[in-house]
Amino acid sequence: MVFYNLGIRLYIIAVSLASVFNSKAKKWVAGRKDFFKKLPKIEKSVTWFHCASLGEFEQGRPIIEEYRKRFPNAYILLTFFSPSGYEVMKNYSVADEVQYLPADTPKNARKFIIHYQPKEIYFIKYEFWLNYINEAKKAGASIYSISAIFRENQRFFKWYGSAFKSALQKFDHFFVQDEKSVELLKTINITKSTVAGDTRYDRVFENASTVKPLHKIEDWLNGKKAFVIGSSWEADETILAHLLNENIKAKVILAPHEIRENHIRYIENTFYDLKKQRYTQTDEIPKDTQLLIIDCIGILSSAYQYGEIAYVGGAFGSGLHNILEPAIFGLPVIFGPKHLRFPEAQLFIDNGIGFSVNSDVELLNKYQHIQSNLKELQSKTKSFTENQRGAKGIIFKSLKN
């Protein structure tokens, strides 16, 4: 624990220094300033949910909202480690309180647990903070892990990971995504685990059930389907250029990850051979438009309902974006090569509904393969995603027992 606590201290110093010139680090520091001086008085039993960032929140969200339905009088505390989660969800109405989680020093953890006295704690996917776990267990809290997934190369399973193994052994139960995680936990003498799957499937199905029509896109497509590109970065768009400029007949909907003006212009220049239209710049999309650029946020998940094949960006860079959203509409999904940290991608590949590509040539080949087997692959995609639902029910049934 000495080295762990030293690492936490060094991390705090590093983020504080970075906050001078990095906006995300600045929010991280500012959000925790005087944390313990402005805490609310609580007279209810506290249930604490913790998420690293926005992606983990989406996995925890079905559990949080079901918990609220079942226990309407509980005080739900939701914490985030990252500004990208907190800043988006700080006004989330299902929780009674949304906060940054103070850095995991022994003093912070002790003061936090003493103030909130949580009876139940749910850590979503990752983020195992040792001091918080130790203090919570001393205070008699029940601790659960939701949608966790473990790999052999993690420190829990290394000779030097004794402090982390000890922390995991304090959990009351693990709800994991796959059988391999169960077997890995057994190697460190943890048997209290259940394969529940990925709660995000429940979440995206809930979203899809309330999806609204986008009449402007419907009128433009006139009953046909589009090739939908979601959350693309420049690296993705470079790979897509050969397919879109020279080899595609379908209409294309492209929703980039960043909608800055210079990025939209980059897209317009990259796909030089297509007649283009920005979504927000017209009330009626011209029928001869080939490439519709979504230059606003909030409609990508709805746009997938008009697709036949999807390309999801991020896997030529730091992280693959959400491939579940298009898949629930039956769209086979293409993505880049850097997806090892995203188990759903390998699951898609293994089941023949996801396709990883390294180059524009591979992309063209995969796209043509999907087009040649479109109905079969769409049916497989829909069936597969439907069968992945139910993690929320498994978790609450187990908790009730």
Write the single-letter amino acid at 353. I
Same domain as 182, residue 154? yes
List, in order, residues 6 or more apart from 277 with CB less than 8 Å away. 285, 286, 289, 291, 292, 293
Coil vs helix vs strand at 253: strand
Which domain CATH number covers 298?
3.40.50.2000
Same domain as 180, residue 244? no
Same domain as 158, residue 17? yes
Rounded Cα–Cα distance for residues 36 and 134 (Å): 20
Same domain as 170, residue 212? no
What does pTM read for this prediction? 0.82
pLDDT digits (tens, 9 = 90+) for 59-91: 999 999 999 999 999 999 999 999 989 999 999
Residue 127 — pLDDT band, cuts 50, 70, 90?
Answer: confident
Q: 281 is written with which tokens?
A: 């710049």
Same domain as 212, residue 194? no
pLDDT digits (tens, 9 = 90+) for 342-378: 889 999 999 999 999 999 999 999 999 999 999 999 9
| Range(s) of the domain holding residue 16 | 2-203+391-400
Helix (H) or strand (E) holding 194: strand 193-195
Which domain CATH number covers 187?
3.40.50.11720
Q: DSSP letters along 95-122, please?
A: SSEEEEPPP--HHHHHHHHHHH--SEEE
Same domain as 221, residue 73? no
List, in order, residues 6 or more apart from 248 with CB less than 8 Å away. 227, 367
Same domain as 131, residue 45? yes
Task: Work out how many domains the chain is built from and give that number.
Answer: 2
Same domain as 192, residue 249? no
Q: Give the burial string for 24-35 (b: 16+ CB within 10 Å, else e).
A: ebbbbbebbeeb
Same domain as 135, residue 101? yes
Same domain as 198, residue 94? yes
Residue 3 — pLDDT band, cuts 50, 70, 90?
Answer: confident
Same domain as 375, residue 228? yes
Same domain as 85, residue 62? yes
Residue 401 pLDDT > 90: no
Name the region of 74 (left: φ>0; alpha: ψ -120 to 50; beta: rest).
beta
pLDDT digits (tens, 9 = 90+) for 332-347: 999 999 998 888 999 9
